[in-house]
Structure 1
Amino acid sequence: MLYKELKESIRTLGFLTIEDFVHYIGVTPSDLLEWEEKDEVPYTVSLIIHLLKGDVDLPNNAALDNLVEECLPLAELLEEASSFPHKLEEMFLLQKQLNDSTNGKNWELGQNKFGKEINWLRCIHMEVAELIDSTPWKHWKNINAAPDMNNIHVELVDIWHFLMSYILQETNVPKAVSLVNTHCIYEAVEIEEIDVKLMVKEAEKLSYISLAIETGNMPSFSGVERFIDQFFRCCKISGLSFMWLQKLYIGKNCLNKFRQDHGYKEGTYIKEWNGDEDNVVMVSILEKMENVSFEELYTALEKNYPGK
């Protein structure tokens, strides 16, 4: 919303001046000057006007109608956000269960049940490389190719698996939910507006954080907070909403469990299903499910698995 549109809209709400309006909503004069200089008003203010509109009988006003249309996505996002703590708790519990079953009960100590070292930081670093490989970053090959956004989103979900594991290594589930919750409220960039170069640069920062912690140049716990903030920034600029992240996570978590149950660790698992990688099959099944159910998805994977 533009600043000049705000000035027009508040008159229809009964405010004589814009100063009266900002005083009413508790905004400082310096904030008002900043809006005027940028000719841009924050979404939260647009939402307030939308709520005020519902309380009074207003005349038709094109500027106000535009404002209401603009703030509705934020209103919907805030409504969705009320379910985020529950969704986060579900994901962290599923991740802990997956780690317990595949790595043993004491995986938080840095070794799996076979005595193999666990390095979540290296896992994140390697997944970032796979994400970047889904973009046309090479100056010598396929320079005009489009990025594989579906696979980029899957790679972000893989990073999320390892990041949650690293967080759980440092703290417990309730604290993990508390740390992450405030970062989940964001509006993902529309796919057609994604800046691929920026996306790659921001993804690389996840690797930098991994390496900084690994080499002792960043304290582990402050690194967790940096990781969380940077990860959700990557999701935002990659067009991956928190709701789709959660849905994909349940899908990928289920697929990981399915892989382990069908010989992944032993090397007997079949990853290509009738010409498609298992990730692709999983997403195609997931897209047809209105509500994600771990059990229903697992059953659907069994029906499609070529090794059954």
Structure 2
Amino acid sequence: MLTLQDRLNSIINPDWVNGGARFLRAAFVESAEALEHHGWKWWKKQTIDLPQVQMELIDILHFYLSHTLVSAAGSAAEATRLLMADLTSSDTIALDGQKYRLAELDVPQLLELIGGLAVCGRASYKTLAQTMTRCELSWQDTFTQYVSKNVLNLFRQENGYKTGTYVKIWHGEEDNVVLARLMSELDPNRADFAQALHTGLQQAYAQITT
């Protein structure tokens, strides 16, 4: 995932590691959007939109990975070490003079903690992982969703998304629908899962642009 994130960011900005982008600001915004999808308003009935909450958590992961790569000066190996050190750290998170035991927090509280940490310039994979678990999102599910969205974002950038020349509707279907079909035909455990998705998109896109 770190390699894929670096590849995508490099297409958008070749010197992205030194570009000064505020990735944790983006993570903060995503945490608030996840909170909206989960529901927090006590004065009216709300229904949890779990798939949307999961999607926002995947987006937070995108920005976390980018932030960690910047902290590691672009080194995927060092970023991996930092990420794993975080995941194996204490289940108690300190913030603003208080200590929060992750196991005792509900999803809205966990999302608030992710946002609060982000405002303070901190990414907590430990907190994100706990939130994922509470939202029925395993690491395997996370990997599959992350890779699929990353591959699609990468493909869009490679084919004119930034310049406005990209065609999003393929024979009456949005590109993400085509992606979902390709995903259903592939084993996410295969080593070349990301490349296989990318190749499938290339083949399908060629049929509408030639």
With the length of structure 1 as denominator, give the TM-score of the two structures.
0.52
Q: 1:102 to 1:135 in 2, by over 3 A?
A: same
The equivalent residue for 2:100 is none
The equivalent residue for 1:96 is 6
Out of 134, 139, 142, the residue aligned to residue 242 of structure 1 is 139
Q: 1:126 to 1:94 in 2, by over 3 A?
A: same
Query: Percent sequence identity over matched residues?
Result: 30
The equivalent residue for 1:162 is 63
**Aligned Cα root-mean-square deviation (Å):** 3.1
Whole-angstrom distance in 2 between the partners of 1:138 and 1:299:
44
The equivalent residue for 1:199 is 107
- Counterpart check, 1:263 vs 2:157: no
Q: Which has the higher contact order (CA 8 A, sep 6+)?
A: 2
Count of aligned pairs: 186
- Counterpart check, 1:153 vs 2:54: yes
Runs of 4+ in 1 over 3 A off after TM superposition: 136-141, 267-285, 299-302, 304-308
- Counterpart check, 1:295 vs 2:192: no
The equivalent residue for 2:98 is none
Whole-angstrom distance in 2 between the partners of 1:282 and 1:198:
33
Does the CA-based 8 Å contact 1:270-1:306 persist in structure 2? no
1:163 Cα deviation from its structure 2 partner: 0.4
Q: 1:127 to 1:96 in 2, by over 3 A?
A: same
Whole-angstrom distance in 1 between the partners of 2:114 and 2:8:
23
The equivalent residue for 1:52 is none
Does the CA-based 8 Å contact 1:121-1:166 persist in structure 2? yes
Unaligned 5+ segments in structure 1 are 1-90, 112-117, 185-196, 214-222
The equivalent residue for 2:120 is 212
Q: Aligned with 2:157: secondary structure?
A: helix
Amino acid at match of 2:126: D
Unaligned 5+ segments in structure 2 are 89-104
Specify which structure has the higher proportion of strand: 2
The equivalent residue for 2:126 is 229
Question: Greater CA radius of gyration, 1 or 2?
Answer: 1
Does the CA-based 8 Å contact 2:159-2:166 persist in structure 1? yes
The equivalent residue for 2:102 is none
